[in-house]
């Protein structure tokens, strides 16, 4: 199972907010922000804080991708 935060980055562009500002307003660590930048899983509380600041739902921030969809066809 893989995670994608592409929706988060696009939403941040639409709302004209950068990573540092989001991190500070949401009260999350730079480590959590770095994990999202690498498409790694983060704590649900981190996602809730991000959603609160951006006034959106969790589906607007993260997408869970099946490993099967991630593999390239041979």
Using an 8 Å Cβ cutoff, are 62 and 7 in contact? yes
> pLDDT by residue for the chain (74 residues), tens digit each?
899 999 999 999 999 999 999 999 999 999 999 999 999 999 999 999 999 999 999 999 999 998 765 555 54
Report DSSP state, residue 71.
Answer: S
What local confidence, expressed as pLDDT, does residue 70 receive? Answer: 52
Name the class of domain 2-70. mainly alpha
What local confidence, expressed as pLDDT, does residue 60 receive? Answer: 97
What local confidence, expressed as pLDDT, does residue 20 receive? Answer: 97
State how far the Cα of 59 lies from the Cα of 68, in Å rounded to an integer.
20
What local confidence, expressed as pLDDT, does residue 71 receive? Answer: 52
Write the CB contacts of 39 (distance below 8 Å, at least 6 apart in sequence): 2, 3, 4, 5
Domain boundaries, given as residue ranges, for the chain:
2-70
């Amino acid at each position: 199972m893989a995670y994608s935060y592409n929706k988060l980055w696009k939403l941040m562009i639409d709302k004209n907010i950068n990573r540092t500002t989001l991190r500070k307003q949401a009260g999350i660590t730079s480590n959590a922000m770095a994990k999202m930048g690498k498409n790694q899983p983060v704590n649900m509380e981190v996602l809730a804080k991000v959603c609160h600041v951006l006034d959106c739902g969790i589906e607007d921030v993260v997408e869970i991708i099946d490993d099967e969809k991630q593999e390239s066809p041979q």
